[in-house]
Amino acid sequence: MGGLSEPVAACVYGAPPPALATAPAGARQVSPLVPGADALETLAPGSLSAAVIAAPPGTLERRYALALALRALKPGSPLTALAPKDKGGSRLRKELEAFGCRVQEVGRQHQRICHASRPDAPVGLEAAIAAGGPQRLEAPGLWTQPGVFSWDREDLGSQLLIAALPALSGRGADLGCGIGVLAAAVLSSPAVTRLDLVDLDRRALDAARRNLADPRAVFHWADVRGGPDFAGPDPAGLDFVVMNPPFHERGLEDKALGQAFIRRSHQMLRPGGVLWLVANRHLPYEAELAAQFGRVTPKGEGQGFKIYEARR
């Protein structure tokens, strides 16, 4: 996790609706979901004059972000935190009060908006930061962090895809790699020469780096839909792509996400290259696969998932 190139006077975490929260003048983005943004974790204690937090839905992740913001604020500096009522907003006031804040709360557009100031001596910050920070799970022994996809449990879809995968070879990519579960299985084949891991979540990539001590793994903090060319130096394209694509954005189901991943994989593959994909059974990916690929072969279905091999 890189440090800051210059001091930050104010910050915005996440993507608060502009109509509900005004960003402080000169504020810098510190979201882990905005490639290239600064990290909230790197802000020096007592360095901020103001902060606006679009609070995450998960309890540990949300308290972690709030605690980091309070630690970075100067005593008396304002903090605005907001979230949809059904995605953590109803708990925001009590959580801020538990840190020692005095809070004014309003409700607008199904969101709870809390205005507070950093107390002289907030309580419980370090405990919340430790609970929401990077951690190594005993089973399966991987590094992870609250807020990352399937952070505290084995993802069944990925495991089903791993069971179906042949030994791959050549250069490939794992799109939406998460903490590196699929990538570890791919790299178990000595015939793989390079694997580009791409994810929108910096925390997931940080965990994947710790989970994959393999020089063939190359990491990219980027949005698959509009990021740079991950195919590497060879213009001929990749030999394979594997993915368990996301289908939620900002807490809402978005089928277009996976469809965009399918189109991107087609762009990255060489003629004859292969895509291996797992998805929830209800997601409508078949038409997009058929439109992009010359041959699409179902490779399994069950437990709410479907697996496809698609060859360019």
Residue 245 main-chain phi, psi, to 5 deg? -70, 150
Q: Per-residue confidence of the chain (312 residues) as pLDDT tens digits?
A: 544 545 678 999 999 999 999 888 889 999 999 999 999 999 999 999 999 999 999 999 999 999 999 999 999 999 999 999 999 999 999 999 999 999 999 999 999 999 999 999 999 999 999 999 999 998 778 999 999 998 998 889 999 999 999 999 999 999 999 999 999 999 999 999 999 999 999 999 999 999 999 999 999 999 998 866 665 556 678 999 999 988 765 555 678 888 999 999 999 999 999 999 999 888 889 999 999 998 999 999 989 999 999 999
DSSP-derived secondary structure letter, 74: P
Domain 135-311 has CATH 3.40.50.2300: no
What residue segments make up the domains of the chain, in order of their start? 10-131, 135-311
Contact at 8 Å (CB) between 264 and 289? no
Beta strand residue intervals within the chain, DSSP E: 10-13, 28-29, 50-54, 78-84, 103-108, 111-117, 135-136, 143-144, 170-175, 192-199, 217-221, 238-243, 248-249, 252-253, 269-280, 295-302, 305-311
10-131 and 135-311 have identical folds: yes
Q: Give CA–CA dist 290/47, Å, rounded.
A: 53
Q: Write out 13-67 in H/E/C secondary structure.
A: ECCCCCCCCCCCCCCEECCCCCCCCCCHHHCCCCCECEEEEECCCCHHHHHHHHH
Which CATH number is correct for 10-131, 3.40.250.10, 3.40.50.2300, 3.40.50.800, 3.40.50.150? 3.40.50.150
pTM: 0.91
User: Residue 127 corresponds to which tokens in the numbers above?
Assistant: 């405990």
Q: Are strands 103-108 and 238-243 parallel, antiparallel or unpaired?
A: unpaired
Q: Give CA–CA dist 156/169, Å, rounded.
A: 24
Q: In sequence order, what are the residues at sequence separation of 6 or more whose Cβ sits closer than 8 angstroms to the Cβ of residue 270?
A: 236, 237, 238, 239, 312
Contact at 8 Å (CB) between 262 and 288? yes
Q: Is the peptide bond before 84 cis (omega within 30 degrees of 0)?
A: no
